[in-house]
Structures are given as C-alpha cells and as structure tokens.
Amino acid sequence: MTSNKSKELLLEMKNIHIDGFSDERWHKILKGVDLTLYRGEILGLIGESGAGKSTMGKAAMGYTQPGCKIIKGEINFNGIDLAKLTEFEKRKIWGTKISYVAQSAAASFNPAHRLMDQTISAANRLKINPTDVLKKDAIKLYESLQLPDAENIGDRYPHQVSGGQLQRIMTAMAMSPRPELIIFDEPTTALDVTTQVEVLSAMRSIVDKFNTAAIYITHDLAVVAQMADRIKVLRYGEEVEEAETRDMLSNPKEEYTKSLWSVRSLIKPEETNQDYILSIKNIDAAYGSSKVLHNVSIDIPKGKTVAIVGESGSGKSTTARVITGLLPQTKGEIIFDGKKLSQKLEQRSKEELRKIQIIFQMPDTAMNPRQTVDEIIGRPIEFYQGIKGKEREAKVIELLKMIELDETFLDRLPSELSGGQKQRICIARALAANPDLIICDEVTSALDQIVQEGILKLLQKLQKELGVTYIFITHDIATVKAISDEIVVMYQGEVVEQGLKSKILNPPYPDYTELLLSSVPEMDPDWLTNLLNKRSS
C-alpha cells in the first residue's frame, strides 16, 4: 500500500491544544499534538478511550464538539488554516473537501430521510453535477462497496437496512463529493467481526480506488494494521509514538505501545472435567412471539470457565437470562447442582439465587449511583448470609482486598471510580454472595485493552482461590483464548459447537466457526488481503 503514494502535503496540524468543559471546569483534552498527512495516504490514529483521538480527528476538520475549544495550534489543509476560518467558510469545506464517517451509522443517519437523499446531499451542495448524475454515481459507489440491490437500496430509510450496510452507505456518502480527505471515526467498532471484515475491505478498496487520503481512528490495533500506511499512538492527549505500520507492529518502541498487545498474549492452559455444575437441556426461549433460542443444550463443568461466543443476536445473552431466571424458558430444563431449577425467578429459593450471580457489561449502569461501595458490596452479604455490623464490614474489606482494592474505597460512590475499578466492584458484589457460578456477560468489552487484561487476570486468580465456575459471554476471540477452558459457539439462537478450547480453535471447523474465527483481525498488515484472496478463490 505504501509504494505509490505521493509526498505532496495535504494536511499539517501543528501543536494542537484543545480544552473541554465538563464537571464545571475546563480539562485539557489535547496537549500539543502534531500530525502530517500526504495526499492519498491513510494514517491510523489509535489509543484508548479518553486519549483524545476522536477530538483530534474532528479537529482535522476544524470542528470541535460543543463544550470544547481549540486553545492554540494550526490546521493547515491545502494551505488554508482551518482554525482561523469562520463557521460559514468552514461549511464550504466540510462534507465536500473533507468528509466524516461516524462510529455509529445507525445514529448518524437522519431517520426521516431516504438514504439516497442523504448520500448525495453534500455533493448536491456543490452544484457542479445535477441530481440525477449524482444519483447514478451514488449507485456506482454502492456497487463498488458491494451493497446488495445497489440500484434500489437508496430508496430505503435508515431503519430498513442493517448496521453493516449503513456503515458502507455512510462511506458512499463520504465519497460522493470526491473529497480530498475522509475522517473515519471508529467506523467498525459497533459491528460484529464477520460484518467488520466486509466493511473494512469495502472501505479500503474505495479509498484506494480514488486515492483519497484518510485518517482512520480506532482503538483496535489489528484493525488499523489492515487500513493504515502509518500509525500514530495517542495517550492522555499526547503523542506516544508514530511509525510506518509494519515497523510499528514488528518493533514497537514505547512500553505503552507494547502493552496494547498484551491482552492478546494472555493464554490459559485448558482443563476440564465431567462433573457438571449446570446443565441446560433442550431450551427454547422467546421474547413475546419472536423465538430467540432453539433447542439449546450446554453443560458447564464445575470450577472451570466456559466461554459462549457469537455475534450480536446469536442468543448468548438470552441464554444467560434464562439461566438466571430473568426470562423463563418455554421448553426444556435447567439442572443446577443436581437439582432442577424453576423457570421463574420468583419461584427459586434464596439459596438457589445466591449460588448463581451475574456480572454485567456496563458497570456504570449496573450499580446504583447513590450507593457507596460499602453499601453495594455489603448488601448481598447481609441479604444472603445474614451477616451484620462489624463482621459485615470485615467481610467487605476482605472482598475489596480480593479484588486488589483497599478499605479507602469503602465510602466512594460509583462516580468516583474508574471504569476498571467499577467492574472490580461489580465482581466483588457477585463474590459477596459466595456463589458457585458467576455469569460474566461481556464484562470486558466496555473496557480498554490494558484494563481488560487486569480484569481477566483477576478473574483467573479468583477461580484458582475460590474454585468458582464462570460462564463467560463474549464476542471477542482474544478474550476467549485468554480465559476459557471450554467454548460454546452460538449462531442465530442455536449451539453450533461445544468443546474444549483446543478442539474449537483448531481445524477442522464447522462452516460458521470457520467464518467467525477467520474474521477476527490479526496483527498482520497483510491479513485482510490474504483473507480476501483466500475467500474469493
């Protein structure tokens, strides 16, 4: 990709400082970041949440979100300093010379207008080509992005097409006025891995085709490796390092950059046994009239970790809801510890409830924001074990130590904790019930890579110490490798495969597992190219 790029400067950002206003005061979001981009080049901008990468991407257009302002710095685009332009002048550049592809296509399309009208609206503003020419061109773009029924898909409304299709249509919309620069702001983060591959390849080929320069923002190193010629790593609003993609991957210089890889190197040796703590047999479940689980049977060995993997809509979270009794099954039975569990939550005994605990994906919404850590962890101790007063406090502190925090956290509210700390408190809350089985529903997917690693290590340590069993629900294969003994693959409400990790992750695969595993991006810049070659042959 790097070969035939010109060295003509397109964008030069110098010493960008941006402040943002929140919690009643101004914070520094960017502290003097530089960026250069040549015509036709793709620059990857990576970092964790809060690193300022999205702010940097928008600043490249001279745009700041409401509540943010550019303190100083130059943004030279084609020799014009965007930081000095008025809103009116910038509008002539936005959408036509520089266009933007947002993270959540579903939220970024106006629900009230047809897709075609939105696709050509920016190009229409240029008044160079008449509308029908633009429409024909848009259909061609749809075709080259491999959208189904390219001729007519533009007549639909945003809610009538899938997320992956919307993301491609947004790329067509960005490309329609033939901009010189496209900002991709985490365009595939909200997509499933199998969809992500299609969208990535479509975006890459169209950017190549028109030789458009792009800034590609993401937190996923493997994704950026497929797209970018160069990679810049940001952290806390400052640059960590920048290098050509291949150099960066083979030889990261900074400690921080290396740590971004680390979660992928975490691997657990597998073990299993035939002593099942939980068996669900031939379960069917439905939300209203739409059936979401079809004849699902899973066995969970005691003291081990079973990962349930699948795309969104595969029924993995629903399975968790059935096990906990939040959603009564319509058919089948659940055997826990040798006894049959009632379908409904209300009919289960306190002891049964105690033994199965759940940790949710979003620690922010899973905790009462008005309760202190002491109250959050203390309640299940009191409720399930009837321990009160001093003894209870001792227990809470013991649990805090287990999750590698200390008693200084007792009086804090959830809002005073970081994302990783919140998830730790949620783990402690689950442990407070002294459960036999913990269901972890996407517990790491809202967290940054390094924090993820910490949480996964903690969960493994706790399993060793307490012998607790985990059901680990995730769509992330790296996490699966890191934590599981056995894997269950689900697709459209059915179990595709269940078995030991080594068996599932090695060939031969059933078709769907093959598709799922091969779609997980790897740290090899040629991965996408090779994969597409393989699939087309």
Partner 1 sequence: MLRLSLGLVTVFAFSVIIFSTFSFLPGDFATEILGQSATKSAVKALRAELGLDKPPVTRYFDWLGNVFQGDFGSSFSGRSKVQGDQGDRSREVVGLIVPRLKNTLFLTGVAAMLAIPLSLILGISAALYRNSYYDRSATGVSLVTVSSPEFFTAYIFILLLATLFPMFPTISTVDEDTTLAERFYRTALPVFTLTLITMGHMMRMTRSAIINILSSEYIEMAKLSGASRYEVIVKHALPNAWAPISQVIAINLAYMLIGSVVVEYVFNYQGIGRLMVGSVYNRDLPVVQACALIFASTYVILNLIADLIGIISNPRLLYPK
Question: Tell me, what DSSP letter sits at residue 334?
Answer: E
Among 7, 24, 86, 111, indicate the residue that binds partner 1 (CB under 8 A): 111
* Number of amino acids touching partner 1 (CB under 8 A): 29
Residue 312 in contact with partner 1, rule: CB under 8 A: no
Q: Which stretch binds partner 1 (CB under 8 A): 9-17, 99-107, 186-194, 322-330?
A: 99-107
C-alpha Rg value of the chain to the nearest Å:
25
* Residue (100 or 336) nearer to partner 1, CB: 100
Where would I find the beta strands (DSSP E) of 48-149?
68-77, 80-81, 98-101
Residue 100 in contact with partner 1, rule: CB under 8 A: yes
Q: Measured from the CB of residue 108, what is the shortest distance to partner 1 in angstroms?
A: 4
Q: Residue 196: left if φ>0, alpha if ψ -120 to 50, beta else—which one?
A: alpha
Where would I find the beta strands (DSSP E) of 249-310?
276-287, 290-301, 305-309
Residue 95 in contact with partner 1, rule: CB under 8 A: yes
Q: Measured from the CB of residue 102, what is the shortest distance to partner 1 in angstroms?
A: 6
Q: Which stretch binds partner 1 (CB under 8 A): 96-104, 267-275, 478-486, 512-520?
A: 96-104
Residue 527 in contact with partner 1, rule: CB under 8 A: no
Q: Measured from the CB of residue 48, what is the shortest distance to partner 1 in angstroms?
A: 21
Is the peptide bond preceding residue 328 cis, with omega within 30 degrees of 0? no
Longest Cα separation, the chain: 78
Question: What are the backbone dihedrals phi and psi of residue 351, each rounded to the nearest 5 degrees, phi first?
Answer: -65, -40
Residue 109 in contact with partner 1, rule: CB under 8 A: yes
**DSSP alpha helix (H) spans, 145-214:** 150-153, 163-175, 193-210
Among 16, 43, 94, 169, indicate the residue that binds partner 1 (CB under 8 A): 94
* Residue (159 or 339) nearer to partner 1, CB: 159
Q: Measured from the CB of residue 496, what is the shortest distance to partner 1 in angstroms?
A: 26
Strands 305-309 and 290-301: unpaired
- Residues 467/417/357/298 CA torsion (nearest 10 deg): -80
* Contacts with 151 (C-beta within 8 Å, 6 or more apart), sequence order: 139
Give dist(CA 357, CA 254) in Å, integer: 40
Among 17, 125, 291, 457, indicate the residue that binds partner 1 (CB under 8 A): 125
Cα(first)–Cα(last) distance of the chain, in Å? Answer: 22
Write the single-letter amino acid at 113: H
Residue 102 in contact with partner 1, rule: CB under 8 A: yes
Q: Which stretch binds partner 1 (CB under 8 A): 19-27, 98-106, 145-153, 349-357?
A: 98-106
CB atoms within 10 A of CB 279: 14
Residue 136 in contact with partner 1, rule: CB under 8 A: no
Residue 113 in contact with partner 1, rule: CB under 8 A: yes
Question: Tell me, what DSSP letter sits at residue 485?
Answer: S
Among 36, 76, 78, 121, indicate the residue that binds partner 1 (CB under 8 A): 121
Q: Which stretch binds partner 1 (CB under 8 A): 120-128, 293-301, 440-448, 513-521?
A: 120-128
Q: Which stretch binds partner 1 (CB under 8 A): 107-115, 271-279, 455-463, 508-516?
A: 107-115
Q: Measured from the CB of residue 517, what is the shortest distance to partner 1 in angstroms?
A: 30
Q: Measured from the CB of residue 96, what is the shortest distance to partner 1 in angstroms?
A: 6
Among 10, 33, 122, 309, indicate the residue that binds partner 1 (CB under 8 A): 122
Q: Which stretch binds partner 1 (CB under 8 A): 61-69, 236-244, 390-398, 437-445?
A: 61-69
Among 6, 15, 49, 65, indicate the residue that binds partner 1 (CB under 8 A): 65
Tell me which residue of 181, 225, 175, 234 sits closest to 200, measured CA to CA: 225
Among 63, 142, 336, 384, indicate the residue that binds partner 1 (CB under 8 A): 63
In order, the DSSP letters of 348-389 are S-HHHHHHEEEE-S-HHHHS-TTS-HHHHHHHHHHHHH---H
**DSSP alpha helix (H) spans, 403-476:** 419-432, 449-466
Among 22, 110, 251, 282, indicate the residue that binds partner 1 (CB under 8 A): 110
Q: Which stretch binds partner 1 (CB under 8 A): 56-64, 211-219, 329-337, 338-346?
A: 56-64
* Contacts with 49 (C-beta within 8 Å, 6 or more apart), sequence order: 219, 448
Collapsing DSSP states into helix, strand and coil, what is residue 94? strand
Strands 486-491 and 331-336: unpaired
Q: Which residues pair with 497 in a beta bridge?
A: 489
Residue 258 in contact with partner 1, rule: CB under 8 A: no
* Residue (61 or 225) nearer to partner 1, CB: 61
Residue 147 in contact with partner 1, rule: CB under 8 A: no
> Is the torsion defined by CA of 221, 222, 225, 227 positive or negative?
negative
Among 22, 152, 160, 295, indicate the residue that binds partner 1 (CB under 8 A): 160
Planar angle of CA 10, 16, 21, nearest 5 degrees:
130
Collapsing DSSP states into helix, strand and coil, what is residue 256? helix
Among 36, 64, 78, 104, indicate the residue that binds partner 1 (CB under 8 A): 104
* Contacts with 303 (C-beta within 8 Å, 6 or more apart), sequence order: 273, 277, 463, 467, 468, 469
Residue 55 in contact with partner 1, rule: CB under 8 A: no
* Residue (110 or 295) nearer to partner 1, CB: 110
Residue 157 in contact with partner 1, rule: CB under 8 A: yes
* Residue (97 or 294) nearer to partner 1, CB: 97
**Binding footprint of partner 1 on the chain (CB under 8 A):** 58, 61, 63, 65, 91-96, 99-100, 102, 104, 107-113, 121-122, 125, 156-157, 159-160, 173
